[in-house]
Structure 1
Amino acid sequence: MEPKWLAWAQQLQAIAQTGLTYVKDVYDRERYEEISRLSCEILESYTSEPMERIEQLFTLDSGYATPKVDVRAAVFREGKILMAREKADGLWTVPGGWADVGVSPSESVVLEVLQETGYEVKPVRVICVLDNKKQKQPPHPNHIYRLFFLCELVGGEGLQETLETAGVGWFNVDELPELSTDRILESQVRLMFAHHEDPSRAVDFD
């Protein structure tokens, strides 16, 4: 379970974001802006993130506050899963990222795989819909829903470097590299292997 302070910060920021969307009174606007600053201060106090970075993460969103959507691809070849090494932290994850506005979830995951690995894939089915608040991942300012797609490899060549990644590899379930736990957990990778091995398995959620 996520820590209480993180839940409070997220809830305060959601209240502030939604309030600033609809507020008309100048004094109420000041109050919502103060609530937003308080949520940032909570995160700064409990994490190593600088205030500037926290404010950037929060101000990326506007309008009615909703969870962010992250899409991830489970791509297999000869019993091994495709993974990319992130430049941001030097650690490994399955390809994916934020879903783009105007693009469907399955289209987004195809684009993410191509951009991060150079491989072309075809989404076959959704295998997991996971809430980061219920996973054992490091605290994150955003409330995130992660959609995992089982994908078929259809073409392309692996790229060893892109704008976001610095390596591509295929790994057995018991020989996984050090994972970027902000993005993926070993338990989640094992879920992907379980779905790959059992096509009749029901979608895992939450």
Structure 2
Amino acid sequence: MERENSLRERLIDVGVDLVMTDGTASLGLREIARRAGVSHGAPRRYFPTHHALLSAIARRGFADLKVRFAAATNGTTSPRGQLQEIGRAHVGYALEHRGMFELMFRHDLLDSEKHASGQSRLRDSTLPLFELIVELIVRHRAEQATAHQLGAPGESEPPPAVTAAALWSNLHGLAQLWTWGSLQLALDAPPPGGAPGSGQLDRLVTAVLDAHLGPVKS
């Protein structure tokens, strides 16, 4: 059993290395098996479908992103400050690991409900990170209401989950548009090929937070 688990993990390790270096187009079962040094049919013993293996690879990405979120928010107590750090970490990860980031959020491709293969579904890795953003938005609103002696949120204010979804989408789009060079064109910034400088990244992430949470009130 230990040997079986070791081979299963090796197949995932190879898949992670491939997606990090060559992108999602490289993640064929035959290529993963070849680089793992096993027969091309071996992955089917552990992953009955190609999607099941891709989901296992994507879960490694979510585990890494979770660690980065924890490290980024360590020592930051305010919910707004934590959202700022999570935003920077999210965009930074997307720019640093483009292939893995693309794979992680392709639930339409991975179809994790069908291809769980007895393992935890990919949604079990995705949703906790989203729920963290929702929780921080709830805390931020409560903190703002207390600080400024406001009443309960008005009916016109979107539910926290909707605000979190819009915020997340904006951060995701920021990273993708930077990768494609569109933001550089719009902002007359240097051409694509690297991540924004820390100051520029901070300004972009802050603008996203201001758009969905309102600017910081003195």
TM-score above 0.5, yes or no: no
Q: Which of the pair has the greater relative contact order for Cα pairs under 8 Å at 6+ separation?
A: 1
Tell me which protein shows more helix as a share of its residues: 2
Q: Rg: which structure is higher?
A: 2
Tell me which protein shows more strand as a share of its residues: 1
Normalising by structure 2, we get a TM-score of: 0.24
Normalising by structure 1, we get a TM-score of: 0.25
